[in-house]
Structures are given as structure tokens and as C-alpha cells.
Amino acid sequence: MTFGFHRSLHAVLIFGGLSVGCVHDSGFGRAHDQSEPGVVDIELSVDIAIQRNNWGEQLGRCHLQAALRTFDPKENEMVPYGESGGSRVVLPQTPDTCVHSMLTDPGPPMEAGSNEDNWQIAGEDVAADTILLRSDQQTIVLEKVMLEGDTHRYEWTDCTADTFPYGQVFDLEMEDDPGLQVPGFVVESAFAVGPDFAFDGLEGNPLFHSQDEDLPVVWTELHEWPLIRDQEVGVERTVWARNRAMDEPMPFEALACSPTQTQMVLVAEDWAKLEANTDRYDDTNIVGIQVDTVTNSPPFEAPWGQTISIRSTVSDGGDLHLLAAE
């Protein structure tokens, strides 16, 4: 593993991913434990995600993006970070089980790519105009763009379902600009992106399912899991079943399940916890099934002594019409 750092700097770089659930943080964390009062810290957040629906037929969001910001830590003071309001889905503590949550306050609806979409991250104009991500198969250029409120973000404008870099390992590079606060740096084999996957046997828009029957959710991973610096990546899989009123964008209840492999049986006992429609013609509610695969790249120590880790998320799913048990 090779590091390059063009100028010395006291810095904290935190690579953030997506927090799973019905609400998501902004990607920035709180002040680092080693932050020193009076010394400006630098924080970098990276967001790598693709989300599809209709069982892989429709693209919801696709982005590789990053943002930088600086802050001056104060004694006994945490640096604030953005977090959308609303109830959170409880995650199961036992593998291969599901947990039900009522979402009395799911928070405001968010359109992918809108100003309210806090999967999108923002920072300051403190570094070079581009960040380069290099793999054996391609070079991705993240270009700096100005947002509302004089904030900035690095974006990949060519992100599509066909170009998303499933299964690839990337070096991370930022050019040096002596006139800006953040110097250039190079990190080889900084992170990996997880594989694409496809559902086995799930189809229909919506898929009809009876509340008193089990439903196997099975998928096949379409790429090999990459190695980072001869280390295996960490894998987190979550299956969601979010129930919402047909005319409402946000769910009022949800199941969260923790599969250990590429399958999860949603049993009738768990379906019984969700509010079902009376028959096939009752379209009061719709359940969104979603599988999230999160890839956690092994952390490494940066030249300035901080631990850095990057993760990516690949999501797919579809709608399910839940029928009440007879």
C-alpha cells in the first residue's frame, strides 16, 4: 500500500457511507477523539450508492460523490452534523431474524437528487477541483460543483446502472493546489465497491403475497467480492419490508431483517405484524421490499495518523401487495 501526501497537515478524514433505515445522516461525523482545540481539522465524506426498484428494472439513484469541510474543534464541544428527523427502524440483534417497527414520525419525504435528499452530501471549497478514482477498469472523475448556500460537492456526472463500478477496487487521488487549505494526496487501494446482484423468482409490479405464507427472498451476486490490500471486505446485508399508505410517500411501519447469506425467508409470523390489504382489489397499502448490500473496505492509517474507512451500498427491490390472511 502506498500513500502520497503533498504537504504536511494536521487533518482528520472520515469517509462516511449510508446509514440504513428510513432516515439517513449527512455523511459527516462528530468531532474526532484526537481533535485539538484551536487546530483546524479537515473532514472528508464519501458517498457511494446505487438504488434500483421494480426488481432491478428501474434506477432510483446512482452516485459517487464526496465533500470536504473544515471545523475548529472546541473543548467539550461536539461538531454538529445533519440528521433528518423522524422515527428509526429497529435493527435485529439476532442473525437471520426480522424485527418490526412502528414509524409514528417517518420524517419528511425526499426525492432522489432534490435539495432535501440528505443522501447527498455538501461541504466547502477548500481543495482542488477534482478527485480521481482509479481502478484497473476505469478512471472516475469527481468534479466539484457549487450548491445552494455557497456549499460544494464532488460529483460523478456519468453514474448509471451500466457504468456503476461493481466489484472494482479504487485508488483515491486529489491534486495539489498550494492556494487551498487541503493539500493533494494519493491512497492506493483505498476502497472497493461491492458486487451487483439479481433477484431469483421475484417479479410483478406489484408482487401479490398472502400474509399467512412465508416468502423466500433470494438473490444471486453477479461479481466476485474484491480484496483490498490482500484483505477481505466486510459485508452487511439487510432486507427491508416498509409498509406505506398508497397515497403517502413515507412508511408507517417496517420489518428489518438480517440475512447472513444471499437469502432471507420472511415468515408468516412476521408478515402478520404488518397491516395488510383485504383483497387483491384493495390498494390501501403497499409494501416496499428492499435488499441492501453494504461493502465495508478494510480501514487503513493515513499519513497523518488517522484511521480511514470507506463503504459502498448496492440496493434493489420492488413493491409487494400484502393480502390479509383468510
For the stretch 162-219, pLDDT in tens is 999 999 999 999 888 777 777 788 889 999 999 999 999 999 999 999 999 999 999 9
pLDDT band at 71 (very low <50, low <70, confident <90, very high): low
Position with higher pLDDT, 11 vs 54: 54
Number of other CB atoms surrounding residue 81 within 10 Å: 15
Distance spanning both ends of the chain, measured CA to CA: 60
* Contact in structure between 175 and 130 (CB atoms under 8 Å): yes
Rounded to whole angstroms, how far apart are CA atoms 106 and 199? 28
pLDDT of residue 118: 47
Domain that holds residue 115: 3-323
Q: Flag whether pLDDT at 115 surpasses 90.
A: no
Q: Kindly report the pTM of this predicted structure.
A: 0.81
pLDDT, the chain, mean: 81
Residue 47 CA to its chain's centroid (Å): 7
Secondary structure of residue 148 in the 3-state scheme: helix
pLDDT tier for residue 149 given thresholds of 50, 70 and 90: confident
Tell me the CA distances in angstroms from 70 to 9, 79, 122, 179, 303, one per residue in order.
12, 11, 12, 15, 18
64, 48 in Cβ contact below 8 A? yes
Bridge partners (DSSP) listed for residue 190: none
Contact (Cβ atoms closer than 8 angstroms) between residue 228 and residue 192? yes
| Average pLDDT for 56-61 | 94
Do 142 and 133 contact (CB within 8 A), yes or no? Answer: yes
Contact criterion met (CB below 8 Å) for 26 and 18: no
Which cell is 144 given?
A: 466539484
pLDDT digits (tens, 9 = 90+) for 233-280: 999 999 999 999 999 999 999 999 999 999 999 999 999 999 999 999
Number of domains in the chain: 1
Q: How confident is the model at residue 3 (pLDDT cuts 50, 70, 90)?
A: very low
pLDDT digits (tens, 9 = 90+) for 249-261: 999 999 999 999 9
Cell of 309: 474507512
Write down the pLDDT at residue 263: 97
